[in-house]
Amino acid sequence: MEDRKENVARKLGRGFRATLEKIKNFFLSLPARIKQKLAGAKEILTQGNGKVAASMVVMGLGQLLYRQWAKGILYLLAQLAFLAYFILKGAGDLIGFFTLGTHESNAWYGVEGDNSVIMMLMGILAIIALIFYFVIYLANVKDAYKIQCAVDTMKSPASFKKELSSLLGKNFHKTALALPIIGVCVFSVLPIIFMILIAFTNYGGTVVPPALVDWVGFENFTKILTLGQFAPTFFRIFGWNILWAVLSTFINYFAGLGLALLLNRKCVKGKTFWRLFPILAYAVPGFITLIAFKFMFSYGGPINQMITDAGGTAVGFLDIDAKWTARFIGLGVNAWLNIPSGMLLATGILSNVNTDLYEAARVDGASPWKQFVRITLPYVLFATMPVLISQFIANFNNFGIFYFLRGGLYMDGYFLASDTDLLINWLYNMSIDNNYYSIGAAISIIIFAVTSVISLAVYVLSPSYKQEETYQ
Amino acid sequence: MSKNLSAVVAHIAILLAVFIVCGLLSSVAAATDAGAAKFTGELEENATLRVLENDTAIKQGYLAELIAAFNEEYKDYHITVQDANMDQYTDLENDGPYGYGPDVLYQANDRIMRYPDGKHILPLPAEEFDCYDKISEKGWQAYRRTVAGQEYTFGIPVNVQGPLLYYRKDLLPENWESEWDDDGDGIPDMVEYWTDMYRFSKEIKEGGGGKKFGYMRSFLEPYFSVGYLYSYGGYTFGKGNTDPSDIGHSKGNAELGANIIRQLATVMDQRCIDDSVTTGAYAALASGEFFATITTPDVYTMFVDEMKAKGYTEDFIAENLVTTYIPKLPASGNLEDESQGFIECNMMGGVQGYAISSYTKYPNAALAFVKFATSYEMIKRRNELLGIVPARGDVADEVGGLSEVINNNLEAGNITVMPSIKENAQIWTPLQTLFQDLAKDAFRTGAEIKYATLDSMKEALQRVDQQIYDSIFTLQ
């Protein structure tokens, strides 16, 4: 097995495991790291000389006093640039982040007041800029102290040219990551923080710009869990959402695996031809497939046409009474959309299984079922657990299925939702159809917490995590 | 240590001082006054106006004609109008403040009237328009709103939307004049009274083996279904559709309207429950599968196209594809009981019109454009090209026919204009669910039947009212 080339899924598994390990190690080592950092800071504070102190007051001053001109000027410019930003905009944005505006716009009189949503965004940006500034400030102090240490030990401090060249050598990772980190902060971290913070405001309903938004603390979470209409709907949908995610992941995964096993058998002729059909289904855009299925199962669709032509009565597959029928159709349609990808994944993994294991099992008298349970399944599960978890999360947050198949219904006993809606559909109804953005954001945080906990728990309990050595 | 600590503290103190001084200064700064958009009467020269029109007007070439005419008329002022080239449902609330919205917009009253609360559209000097006294009070009401204690007009009505009955004259029974014209007015009773339509549809369904139907229409769309509730005393919002705290679909004898829906469903098939019949209605009427259906006036050409595709000549279509106002309902609320006489069927309608964005740089040029676009000549041309029902009474009277009928019905209160408040967006899904449930009930059997009595229908309507109320107010 060692000689075989590792497939993509296993690599993914290892990457996921390694990431988890790193996260775990990070938190475990956090106290020691903090202690170490504090010791380092204490050393600089106690041992730093006047020139280091100068860098603490004005960035780059210490470096200039040590005749490190280029670095000193760059640090000084960084401080001046930050101060200019802070004076002209940053300080106001930071205050705006807390107030979310004090002047309301009035378009009739051309009064451009405060836009709370923009103020929140700019405030987050100011906080990120402040964090960046402190990172540079610390680097400046450390650098000044490093120069002092070098001078004290009669060594010549590294020249600017040398330090610059190290950015293309041993410190290349810093150069390479600088821009992407800024990009991630602006385009990824900023919107995520924004969405999380919206959950702590009253944004939505009648409070939309030009009206000013306010911070409301945990009020939205309290509403979700305590309001008469909310809590029962939340728990009903949540229960169905868990069931849906488990069932759909299970069906898609095992049907994909089954199909791959079937098409892997030697007795099957024209394998390429048969594999083409699921791939075709996979290639059609999902929402087109969903609209087509909705029509097929509608009262005017071909299925009911055939039923009525045969003398039967039309069946409401997706209508108001079709709670469980619609749920099963949803599972089936989701399987239609996702089994092909599962089949392709399993086909790739099965091609790497050591056939000697099956040979040995056959010699020992193991039945095909035993071979599947003891060899195929553990191997495939091990390799695909991270993919399985990502499928679970995708299914948990599967917006399209019931939006397209059975949208536009609010059922008795549900608040702004139907009995097939998932949390993500409820979130949509709430935030888009009814403008309750803050409540929608609060629900999305709950969804995030739930999917994270389940995913981590499933992974930690899975063979991919526990028994990695078995398959090495 | 103390020296270095002092240095760090000094640095932080500098930052804090900058933060406090600059932050507080910016927070107490007065809001920027960019100058109000006012109607001074002085046309802004070299203005370029972006006009948002509906897709049909663009496709049929009306907008191009309107723009060309206006540009010609105002060429001395160098005012140019152009298609805003945006989605017809563009949201001014989000786009306007950032300068992306149109200067002039043409939308239905329920959409336009979402904007006054945020002052996204300008109050218009309606009395300055030459159409002011030509448009009915009901039309103007759709665009009036009280803001900060004063009533303003925010839109100029152009087009009245209301449902019509489409039917095939050639599919009437040969003996209709003797058997189906009890009042002897020369109009078939089935297109005058829902009781006769019901009886006629029942006969067709029973004789057609489930392949032919009299009246057919999906109940899923509240726009076409809520009128049955209105006809018996129900309403959407209180105080003339302006008070969202008073939701009244269950008020009066609205349950009789619910009963009408349930009864009508029995003479159709299950396709009336979902929307699968909606787009197929044109072809079904053309093929003779349906005798009649209800829809808006602007889709007349769709029926004509389908009939042409079936081989019918234009003359035949002109004679046999008939549009008329919605039949009268029995006062009893029972399609099998005419004993109490008839009442008008009050359907939901809408008024489309022009409004001016508060974010326009050229309010006077925009006002001149709206005046031009709502002039007698342009509205008449709009009617000729698009088949709209003009809100201007003088044009409606001149073109006559259904335009006159619909305007008269609007005036008489038989068309209830969609509420012009933003809470209207929250009525559709609860109503859609209810109408689907009522239609489905006609096909339920035994213990599954939910609405066997008027009381049960009343309770369902009350639940829907509560649901709408909760969706509007629970989270506020």
Say if the Cβ atoms of B426 and A434 lie within 8 Å.
yes
Residue A323 CB coordination number (10 Å): 14
- For residues B191 and B34, which has the higher predicted lDDT (pLDDT)? B191
- In sequence order, the β-bridge partners of residue B294 are B165
> Could you tell me which residues come within 8 angstroms of residue B316 by beta carbon, excluding any fewer than 6 positions away?
B170, B307
∠ CA B158-B164-B167, rounded to 5°: 145
DSSP characters over A103-162:
S--BGGGTEE---HHHHHHHHHHHHHHHHHHHHHHHHHHHHHHHHHHHHHTTPPPPPHHH
Q: What is the pLDDT of residue A10?
A: 61
Residue type, A15: G
3-state secondary structure at position B243? strand
- Asked whether residue B282 carries a pLDDT value surpassing 50, the answer given is yes
Report yes or no: B244 at the A interface, CB cutoff 8 Å: no
**Do B194 and B256 meet the contact criterion of CB atoms below 8 Å apart?**
no
Separation of alpha carbons A413 and B67, rounded Å: 52
Q: What is the pLDDT of residue B473?
A: 87
**Do B113 and B154 meet the contact criterion of CB atoms below 8 Å apart?**
yes
Q: What is the pLDDT of residue A466?
A: 65
Report yes or no: A101 at the B interface, CB cutoff 8 Å: no
Provide the terminal-to-terminal Cα distance of chain B, rounded to the nearest Å: 55
Report yes or no: A316 at the B interface, CB cutoff 8 Å: yes
Separation in Å, CA A329 to CA A255, A364, B40, B302: 16, 43, 62, 34
Q: What is the pLDDT of residue A1?
A: 42
CB contacts < 8 A (A, B): 183
Separation of alpha carbons A431 and A437, rounded Å: 5
> Residue for token digits 């083996």?
B209
Comparing CB atoms, the residue among B31, B444, B467 nearest residue A111 is B31
Report yes or no: B437 at the A interface, CB cutoff 8 Å: yes
Pairing state between β B213-215 and B290-295: parallel
Dihedral Cα A323, A325, A328, A329, nearest 10 deg: -110
3-state secondary structure at position A96? helix
Report yes or no: A48 at the B interface, CB cutoff 8 Å: yes
Separation of alpha carbons B170 and B291, rounded Å: 9
Closest-CA residue in chain A for B448? A321
For A31-36, which contacts have Cβ atoms below 8 Å and span 24 or more sequence positions?
none
**Do B204 and B212 meet the contact criterion of CB atoms below 8 Å apart?**
yes
Mean pLDDT of the region B333-338: 95
Closest-CA residue in chain B for A95? B23
Say if the Cβ atoms of A53 and B32 lie within 8 Å.
no
Residue B158 backbone class (left: φ over 0; alpha: ψ -120 to 50; beta: rest):
alpha
Domain A231-471: assigned CATH number: 1.10.3720.10
Mutate one of A52, A56, A323 to test the B interface: name it (highest B CB count within 10 A).
A56
What are the φ/ψ torsions at residue B314 (nearest 5 degrees)?
A: -65, -40
Is the link from the previous residue into A368 a cis peptide, with omega within 30 of 0?
A: no
Say if the Cβ atoms of A92 and B15 lie within 8 Å.
no
Segment 131-170 of chain B within 8 Å of chain A by CB = none
**Do B413 and B346 meet the contact criterion of CB atoms below 8 Å apart?**
yes
Say if the Cβ atoms of B273 and A110 lie within 8 Å.
no
Report yes or no: A203 at the B interface, CB cutoff 8 Å: no
Encode pLDDT of B396-429 as tens digits.
989 888 888 888 888 888 899 999 888 998 999 9
Say if the Cβ atoms of A91 and B37 lie within 8 Å.
no
Separation of alpha carbons B358 and B372, rounded Å: 19
Tell me what ipTM this predicted complex has. Answer: 0.83
Buried b (16+ CB within 10 A) or exposed e, A64-102: bbbebeebbebbbebbeebbeebbebbbbbbbbbebbbe
Collect all residues of chain B within an 8 Å Cβ-Cβ radius of residue A304: 270
Segment 348-377 of chain A within 8 Å of chain B by CB = none
Q: What is the pLDDT of residue A3?
A: 45
Q: What is the pLDDT of residue A352?
A: 81
Q: What is the pLDDT of residue A17?
A: 67
For residue B430, what pLDDT band results from cuts at 50, 70 and 90? very high
Mean pLDDT of the region B221-226: 94
**How far does A399 lie from chain B, in Å, by closest CA?**
18
Say if the Cβ atoms of A91 and B18 lie within 8 Å.
yes
Q: What is the pLDDT of residue B132?
A: 94
3-state secondary structure at position A243? helix
Comparing CB atoms, the residue among B19, B210, B425 nearest residue A91 is B19
Buried b (16+ CB within 10 A) or exposed e, B197-236: bbbbbbebbeeeeeebbbbbbbbbbbbbbbbbbbbbbbbb
What are the φ/ψ torsions at residue A387 (nearest 5 degrees)?
A: -65, -40
Collect all residues of chain B within an 8 Å Cβ-Cβ radius of residue A412: 463
Report yes or no: B447 at the A interface, CB cutoff 8 Å: no
Mutate one of A319, A418, A436 to test the B interface: name it (highest B CB count within 10 A).
A319
Burial class (CB in 10 A: 0-12, 13-18, 19+), B61: exposed
Comparing CB atoms, the residue among A95, A112, A410 nearest residue B430 is A410
Residue A424 CB coordination number (10 Å): 20
Comparing CB atoms, the residue among A52, A94, A409 nearest residue B433 is A409
Q: What stretches of A227-314 adopt beta strand conformation (E)?
A: none
**Do B261 and B219 meet the contact criterion of CB atoms below 8 Å apart?**
yes
**How far does A73 lie from chain B, in Å, by closest CA?**
18
Separation of alpha carbons B74 and B43, rounded Å: 10
**Do B100 and B399 meet the contact criterion of CB atoms below 8 Å apart?**
no
- Asked whether residue B371 carries a pLDDT value surpassing 60, the answer given is yes
Residue extent(s) of CATH 1.10.3720.10 domains in chain A:
231-471
According to DSSP H, which parts of B312-362 are helical? Answer: 314-320
- For residues B329 and B10, which has the higher predicted lDDT (pLDDT)? B329
Closest-CA residue in chain B for A221? B475
> Residue for token digits 């096993």?
A261
Separation of alpha carbons A121 and A126, rounded Å: 9
Comparing CB atoms, the residue among B3, B117, B448 nearest residue A53 is B3
Q: What is the pLDDT of residue A5?
A: 43
Mean pLDDT computed over every residue of chain B: 90
3-state secondary structure at position B242? coil
Nearest to A49 by CA among B115, B19, B4, B23: B4
Encode pLDDT of B438-457 as tens digits.
999 999 999 999 999 999 99
Residue type, B112: I
Quote the pTM value: 0.82
Structure-token pair, residue A147: 């120069």
Separation in Å, CA A128 to CA A94, A117, A181, A183, A197: 10, 17, 12, 12, 15
Say if the Cβ atoms of A321 and B8 lie within 8 Å.
no
Q: Which residues of chain A have pLDDT under 50?
A: 1-6
Nearest to A209 by CA among A352, A353, A112, A328: A112
Encode pLDDT of B107-122 as tens digits.
999 999 989 988 899 9
Say if the Cβ atoms of B32 and A107 lie within 8 Å.
no
**Do B361 and B39 meet the contact criterion of CB atoms below 8 Å apart?**
no
Say if the Cβ atoms of B1 and A436 lie within 8 Å.
no
Comparing CB atoms, the residue among A103, A107, A418 nearest residue B359 is A107
Report yes or no: A408 at the B interface, CB cutoff 8 Å: yes
Collect all residues of chain B within an 8 Å Cβ-Cβ radius of residue A210: 97, 118-119
Q: What is the pLDDT of residue B8?
A: 87
Say if the Cβ atoms of A53 and B4 lie within 8 Å.
yes
**Do A335 and A286 meet the contact criterion of CB atoms below 8 Å apart?**
no
Report yes or no: B274 at the A interface, CB cutoff 8 Å: yes
Encode pLDDT of B227-268 as tens digits.
999 999 999 999 989 899 999 999 999 999 999 999 999 999
